[in-house]
């Protein structure tokens, strides 16, 4: 097959979506398929285009047999909803224009988030007269309501909902990363005939408990501490106040360092807070290269985060958790819902109720002081990842879905736990 992957996020950008889709593209190519990627100029997560890509409308690169076509978009280092939407809108336009001059592929694999990328893929599918498989990785546009950007009764929300419905109804097939995502889609647009749930995955060879972490520790000057870490986008869904208060309560412990790695809407808030004396045991690195992330996990004695209590976050299984489980890094999360249920059922991590600082501190201390509990969680977490999150099995499931899209008369409904 000649597969056209359309996505807002792809290497050299970092972040969960870019890592997942880059890995998938290479694995599909390894299976003998011709893969072309239509994506943005590098910009994520900092909102800055690197100097070598600036003032260029299109940059085409050959990467290990994959043709990567990157088109211009407007970007801003200020992480606000309105600026992100404007940036996404400009990519929709440049992506759609560039697609007019592409050879016609057999099938499109379309990452549905953000919605404007979904619309670009819908347009390209219509112009080229080819089917597309829609990959739905998040709750959208519901997220806009949870984030407080719009109300459910507003015109903007109803418009975005209608646009999302259109791209989903016209898809030959839909892949979702969670069962509940497919349930939500079918509640809006009706039964999806050709659908599959393919859980997120991780490269189990790259993300492993045996990765050496000393180079990472030496680079950032933390070679002699137990690291309690956070990695990810500091968006409005993160309860940074609870996390910082937990760190304050552990200020007297001499053998630990809290390491925050992330950027986003709350980065200035974090930078300001870490100037306070009772958070002197905390460090912040705005971002690290993807090549350093396996060593980051290996260096992490405990990984922690807290989420605000809302219905969407109760249903999420966040991407960073896949990497934590694969590397056998014990996690402590202040969350209610799916992640809490899975971690408790399989004893592969600790969760506490949202906003409960005391419980969060106690759980972190358990993993700092009880080696047996720490090792047991680490061992079970890795085993669970091996059984459930193998990236090659996930890639095979995507391959089957794309092949099925070329034979619409064989549509079926299935759910895979790849």
pLDDT digits (tens, 9 = 90+) for 39-54: 999 999 889 999 999 9
Every domain of the chain with CATH number 3.40.50.2000 lies at 2-201+390-410, 214-388
Euclidean distance between CA atoms 358 and 232, whole angstroms: 23
Is residue 148 predicted with pLDDT exceeding 80? no
Direct distance between the N- and C-terminal alpha carbons of the chain, in angstroms, rounded to an integer? 22
pLDDT tens for 74-94 read 999 987 778 888 999 999 999
Q: How confident is the model at residue 3 (pLDDT cuts 50, 70, 90)?
A: very high
Is residue 255 predicted with pLDDT exceeding 90? yes
Lookup result for tokens 């994959």? 66
Is residue 418 predicted with pLDDT exceeding 70? no
The β-bridge partners of 174 are: 134, 195
Angle at 119 between CA 116 and CA 124, to 5 degrees: 130
Is residue 412 predicted with pLDDT exceeding 80? no
pLDDT at 393: 94
pLDDT at 411: 44
Q: Under CATH, which number does the domain 214-388 receive?
A: 3.40.50.2000
Q: Under CATH, which number does the domain 2-201+390-410 receive?
A: 3.40.50.2000
pLDDT tens for 8-19 read 999 999 888 999
pLDDT at 239: 97
Is residue 354 predicted with pLDDT exceeding 90? yes
Write b or e for each residue in 129-163: b if 16 or more Cβ atoms lie within 10 A of its Cβ, otherwise e.
ebbbbbbbbbbbbbbbbebebbeeeeeebeebbeb
What is the residue-averaged pLDDT of the chain?
93
Q: 189 with 169: CB under 8 angstroms?
A: yes
10 Å Cβ neighbour count for 355? Answer: 16
pLDDT at 408: 58
Euclidean distance between CA atoms 108 and 124, whole angstroms: 9
10 Å Cβ neighbour count for 301? Answer: 19
pLDDT tens for 191-232 read 988 999 999 899 999 999 999 999 999 999 998 899 999 999
Q: Would you call 164 helix, strand, or coil by DSSP?
A: helix
pLDDT tens for 179-200 read 889 998 999 899 988 999 999 8
Is residue 156 predicted with pLDDT exceeding 50? yes
């Amino acid at each position: 097959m000649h597969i056209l992957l359309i996505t807002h996020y792809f290497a050299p950008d970092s972040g969960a979506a870019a890592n997942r889709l880059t890995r998938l593209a290479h694995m599909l190519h390894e299976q003998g398929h011709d893969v072309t990627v239509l994506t943005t100029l590098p910009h994520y997560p900092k909102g800055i285009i690197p100097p070598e890509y600036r003032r260029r409308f299109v940059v085409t690169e050959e990467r290990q047999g994959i043709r990567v076509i990157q088109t211009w978009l407007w970007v801003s280092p200020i992480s606000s909803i309105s600026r992100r939407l404007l940036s996404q809108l400009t990519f929709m336009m440049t992506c759609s224009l560039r697609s007019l001059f592409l050879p016609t592929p057999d099938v499109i694999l379309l990452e549905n988030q953000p919605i404007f990328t979904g619309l670009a893929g819908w347009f390209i599918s219509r112009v080229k007269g080819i089917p597309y498989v829609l990959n739905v990785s998040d709750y959208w546009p519901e997220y806009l309501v949870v984030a407080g950007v719009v109300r459910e009764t507003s015109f903007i929300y109803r418009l975005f909902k209608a646009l999302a419905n259109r791209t989903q109804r016209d898809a030959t097939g839909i892949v979702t990363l969670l069962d509940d995502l497919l349930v939500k889609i079918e509640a809006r647009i009706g039964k999806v005939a050709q659908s599959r749930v393919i859980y997120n995955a991780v490269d189990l060879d790259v993300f492993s408990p045996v990765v050496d972490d000393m180079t990472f520790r030496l680079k950032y000057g933390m070679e002699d501490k137990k690291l309690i870490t956070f990695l990810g986008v500091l968006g409005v869904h993160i309860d940074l106040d609870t996390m910082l208060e937990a760190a304050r309560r552990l200020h007297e412990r001499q053998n630990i360092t809290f390491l925050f790695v992330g950027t986003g809407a709350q980065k200035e808030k974090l930078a300001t807070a870490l100037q306070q004396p009772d958070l002197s045991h905390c460090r912040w690195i705005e971002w690290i290269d993807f090549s350093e992330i396996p060593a980051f996990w290996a260096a992490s004695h405990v990984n922690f985060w807290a989420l605000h209590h809302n219905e969407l976050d109760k249903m999420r299984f966040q991407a960073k958790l896949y990497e934590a489980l694969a590397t056998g890094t014990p996690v402590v999360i202040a969350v209610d819902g799916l992640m809490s249920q899975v971690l408790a059922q399989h004893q592969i991590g600790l969760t506490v109720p949202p906003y409960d600082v005391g419980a969060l501190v106690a759980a972190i201390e358990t993993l700092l002081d009880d080696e047996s509990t720490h090792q047991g969680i680490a061992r079970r977490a890795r085993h669970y990842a091996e059984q459930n999150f193998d990236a090659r099995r996930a890639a095979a499931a995507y391959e089957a879905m794309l092949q099925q899209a070329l034979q619409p008369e064989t549509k079926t409904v299935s759910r895979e736990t790849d």
